[in-house]
Chain A
Amino acid sequence: MTAPAGGWRTATVAGLRRPIARSVELRLDVHDRVDHLPGQHYVVRLTAEDGYTAQRSYSVASAPGDPLVELFVERLDDGEVSTYLADVVEPGDELEVRGPIGGWFVWDGATPALLVGGGSGVVPLVAMVRHARALGRLDLLRVAVSARTLAELPYADELVEAGALIALTREAHGIRPAARLTDMDLLPLWEPGQTAYVCGSAGFAESASQLLVGLGLPPASVRVERFGPSALELPKR
């Protein structure tokens, strides 16, 4: 399988929603779009009047079959691009985008996979879940996601509906007390032959991937996407 890759395109903001605080869901109409695989991302490039540019990567949340490309952007308070996307963008605006990009962190829609995401790291996993649902193959996926509270978990309803294990660090969820994701959370989800997809902040991705390797998953079967950009996102101790 080779992953598709697209060049720079103009995208029109077809719609946007703010389903959870401090973030925005952008629905983009990408002109001459190249179809993506679930797990791939786009680069958004912003240009100021004086020609200064800033570009950042955002995973695609929508399934390949969706006519629009959906991005989910978490607003970082002093972030340069995420604040613009969350606060300034309006429907009808045009954005310069490049994608899809990435050929490693992609799910082929046909093989068993274990998806583990933290915070906005669930975004590429949501694309995989949506694709599986469209194919009628949700049985291929086992999903575990983590956030501080349910209200802060992107796409919480869809993830709950897909049967995801929900690990919340600040509140109980069902019978599960508030706690970080542990190997005991992941153990029942693991089956031999799965490819694991781990996505989140550098700190989350590091600890979750180590949990999986500790459970006995071959390191070569664990694919990791670290949403930088920085150690500032690591929990402060």
Chain B
Amino acid sequence: MPGPTRGFLGRRRAAGDPRLPPGQYDAGSDWPVLTAEPTPRIAPETWTITVDGEVETPTTWTWDEAHALPSSEYRGDIHCVTTWSKFDTRFGGISVDSLLELARPTAEGRFVMATSKTGYTTNLPIEDVTGGKAWLVWEFDGKPLTAEHGGPVRMLVPHLYFWKSAKWISRITVLKRDQPGFWEQNGYHDRGDPWKQQRYQGD
């Protein structure tokens, strides 16, 4: 650990808010947008989600079919690798569990790759998207999720840095072996746990 930076006092000590992971600050009511591609406009009628790869029953759901699955809500905090966190968010949609329960990953399926309509990808261990830890969401604060925040439907994996929560989600592919996604190929961490500050490869 290097020593202190000369003359740096630091502004936001965040008064030890236990909800704030190390190196993060509270963005308050802001919700910054950080994406690497132009925002696509996707009509809900044309949106579909496919679960394929190492599964017994590869399946595609339409907007209406996905809405017919049991609804599920996330209330809590989100954390972006660019150091903002947002407390007490409320997202509505379905649990990723309800898709995987129908598609049934094989015993060999240990990772997933989430793919967006734009071609964006992000990789996750399957344990990080099962057991009530991951959602597909179409509502934020009771209103339809806007396109710039990933609408009509994005993935939500709130216990990891937010680049794992793929916007404009269209496919979840179950894999035997881990493969780096878009940011992961570009130097970002494979897991991205904010509490361990897993920002970049090697952290």
The verdict on B185 contacting chain A, using a C-beta distance below 8 Å, is yes
- In the assembly, what is the distance between CA of A93 and CA of B2, in Å? 13
**A74-105 near B? 1/0 per residue, CB < 8 Å:** 00001010001000100001111010011111
Interface pair A47/B3, CB less than 8 Å apart: yes
Interface pair A57/B82, CB less than 8 Å apart: yes
- In the assembly, what is the distance between CA of A72 and CA of B201, in Å? 26
User: Interface size of B by Cβ–Cβ distance < 8 Å?
Assistant: 41
- In the assembly, what is the distance between CA of A225 and CA of B37, in Å? 8
Q: Is the interface of A mostly helix, strand, loop or mixed?
A: mixed
Interface pair B11/A229, CB less than 8 Å apart: no
Interface pair B23/A54, CB less than 8 Å apart: yes
Question: With A46-B10, A52-B10, A54-B10 as given contacts, are A101 and B5 in contact (CB-CB < 8 Å)?
Answer: no
Chain A residues within 8 Å of B37, by CB:
209, 219-220, 222-224
Q: How far is the CB of B140 from chain A (nearest CB, A)?
A: 14
Stretch at the interface among B24-32, B61-69, B93-101, B153-161: B24-32
Total residue contacts A-B, CB cutoff 8 A: 122
Question: With A54-B23, A102-B186 as given contacts, are A206 and B39 in contact (CB-CB < 8 Å)?
Answer: yes
The verdict on B6 contacting chain A, using a C-beta distance below 8 Å, is yes
Q: How far is the CB of A56 from chain B (nearest CB, A)?
A: 7
Question: With A104-B182, A219-B118 as given contacts, are A47 and B187 in contact (CB-CB < 8 Å)?
Answer: no
Residue of B with least CB distance to A208: B38
**B42-67 near A? 1/0 per residue, CB < 8 Å:** 00000000000000000000000000
Interface pair B82/A96, CB less than 8 Å apart: no
Q: How far is the CB of B81 from chain A (nearest CB, A)?
A: 10
Question: With A48-B9, A80-B11, A103-B187 as given contacts, are A225 and B32 in contact (CB-CB < 8 Å)?
Answer: no
Q: B residues bordering A, Cβ < 8 Å?
A: 2-13, 22-23, 25, 27, 30-40, 80, 82-84, 118-119, 148, 182, 185-187, 200-202
Q: A residues bordering B, Cβ < 8 Å?
A: 3, 5, 7, 10, 46-49, 51-57, 78, 80, 84, 88, 93-96, 98, 101-105, 202, 206, 209-210, 212-213, 219-220, 222-226, 228-232
